[in-house]
């Protein structure tokens, strides 16, 4: 009989020649447990997904309660489904009043795709601007916005009318013109290695979009739901996007995403043609129930307020000659090392020692730290000890 690993390699589509092949038996809080019973502190939280921890009991209960009522009943936008209505209402209640209409989808890439269509439809323009080293998903449209040619060249031709600017470089903002439908920007560039923009740059970006009538689309797929020390990353810069992209930490571990705009913008999908954007499973009732439960946990337990202290603890503990810099905000951090070889060896050693850490798509010389927001100070100290021991080996 074939092992699970053999079946995994045989029947499950692979994305690289060297998957980590960690066979997970269970997950709880900040820990993953493999089939041998070994526990791992999860310092990447499923890539910024498990903000309230793995299998938070309130989220699990919400999933069970909704599963007892109904699962999928029809395509999105036709029936009134309580989980969608309640979740959308809650989201709008914590956002600026111009972000008042929620379109639920299944993932961050789908949120990007929907927002691209919405921006073109509302403005009547076709040009879209993104940033070099950006990441907004890997579907055809989202890939067109990716600012790294290495990952795009094998799939060309992609969407026309896409231009790129340098992140956090104010002079490039003049490339935004009255022909620009939208500017897509990660509030903090994630896969570039956690690059935080200047306050003045973000203010200038918002001003330039206002000048040209271009929509500002903020990608908060990684930074949303408390990860940066505020509910949403754009709050650090005193700006409000025209369209907000959400996913990852949104569902408490369940698959869901959304793009959110003012109703006056979102209503562009209702006519000429009708059904301007369609999804079958977007806003799945179980995912919406889980997402609402996760958001209520985030708010009721005050998790966002704990993030700055935990960030400072990571920064204070992770002092080592091999760490060239620590970038980021809140619990989205990167440790800059000297080479991919160092990153790979430290990552493997950490896994051997019961700690999950990883690197970035566009920055292979940095290690990613993005744990569940529920991580305790004791767990942070333990994680940092493992990282420092791994660095000392080389």
**Does 39 score more than 90 pLDDT?**
yes
Alpha helices in 124-226 (DSSP H): 140-145, 199-212
Structure token pair of residue 335: 């440790």
- Domains of the chain: which residue ranges? 4-55+302-392, 58-300
Q: How confident is the model at residue 10 (pLDDT cuts 50, 70, 90)?
A: confident
Q: How confident is the model at residue 9 (pLDDT cuts 50, 70, 90)?
A: confident
Under 8 Å CB-to-CB from 173, ≥6 apart: which residues? 165, 204, 205, 208
Q: What is the dihedral of CA 367, 370, 375, 377, to 10 degrees?
A: 50
**58-300 fold:** 3.40.640
**Does 235 score more than 90 pLDDT?**
yes
Structure token pair of residue 54: 């793995």
Under 8 Å CB-to-CB from 299, ≥6 apart: which residues? 94
Structure token pair of residue 234: 């754009």
Question: Has domain 4-55+302-392 been given CATH number 3.90.1150.10?
Answer: yes
Average predicted confidence (pLDDT) for the chain:
96
Query: What's the DSSP call for residue 196?
Result: P
Mean local confidence (pLDDT), 185-206: 97
Mean local confidence (pLDDT), 324-337: 98
Q: How confident is the model at residue 71 (pLDDT cuts 50, 70, 90)?
A: very high
Instruction: Compute the distance between CA of residue 96 and CA of residue 317 in angstroms, rounded to an integer.
Output: 36
**Does 119 score more than 80 pLDDT?**
yes
């Amino acid at each position: 009989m074939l092992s699970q690993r053999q079946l995994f390699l045989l029947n499950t589509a692979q994305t690289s020649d060297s998957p980590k092949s960690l066979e997970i038996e269970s997950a709880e809080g900040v820990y993953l447990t493999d089939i041998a019973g070994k526990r791992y502190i999860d310092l990447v939280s499923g890539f910024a997904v498990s903000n309230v921890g793995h299998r938070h009991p309130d989220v699990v209960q919400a999933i069970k309660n909704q599963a007892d009522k109904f699962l999928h009943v029809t395509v999105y936008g036709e029936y009134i489904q309580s989980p969608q209505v309640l979740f959308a209402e809650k989201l709008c209640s914590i956002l600026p009043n111009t972000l008042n209409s929620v379109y639920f989808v299944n993932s961050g890439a789908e949120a990007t795709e929907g927002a691209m269509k919405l921006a073109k439809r509302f403005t009547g323009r076709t040009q879209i601007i993104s940033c070099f080293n950006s990441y907004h998903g890997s579907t055809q449209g989202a890939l067109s916005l990716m600012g790294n040619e290495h990952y795009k060249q094998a799939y060309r031709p992609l969407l026309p009318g896409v231009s790129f600017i340098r992140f956090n470089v104010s002079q490039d903002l003049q490339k935004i013109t009255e022909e620009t439908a939208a500017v897509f920007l990660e509030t903090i560039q994630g896969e570039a290695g956690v690059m935080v923009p200047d306050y003045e740059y973000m203010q200038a970006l918002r001003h330039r979009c206002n000048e040209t009538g271009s929509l500002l689309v903020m990608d908060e797929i990684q930074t949303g739901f408390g990860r940066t020390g505020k509910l949403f990353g754009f709050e650090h810069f005193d700006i409000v996007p025209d369209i907000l992209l959400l996913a990852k930490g949104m569902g408490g571990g369940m698959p869901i995403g959304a793009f959110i705009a003012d109703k006056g913008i979102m209503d562009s999908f209702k006519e000429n043609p009708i059904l301007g954007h369609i999804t079958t499973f977007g806003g799945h009732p179980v995912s919406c129930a889980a997402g609402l439960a996760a958001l209520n946990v985030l708010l009721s337990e005050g998790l966002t307020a704990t993030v700055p202290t935990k960030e400072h603890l990571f920064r204070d503990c992770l002092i080592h000659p091999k760490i060239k810099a620590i970038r980021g905000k809140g619990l989205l951090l990167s440790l800059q090392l000297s080479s991919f070889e160092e990153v790979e060896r430290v990552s493997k050693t950490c896994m051997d020692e019961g700690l999950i850490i990883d690197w970035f798509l566009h920055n292979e010389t940095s290690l990613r730290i993005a744990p569940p927001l529920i991580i305790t100070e004791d767990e942070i100290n333990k994680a940092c000890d493992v990282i420092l021991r791994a660095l000392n080996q080389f």
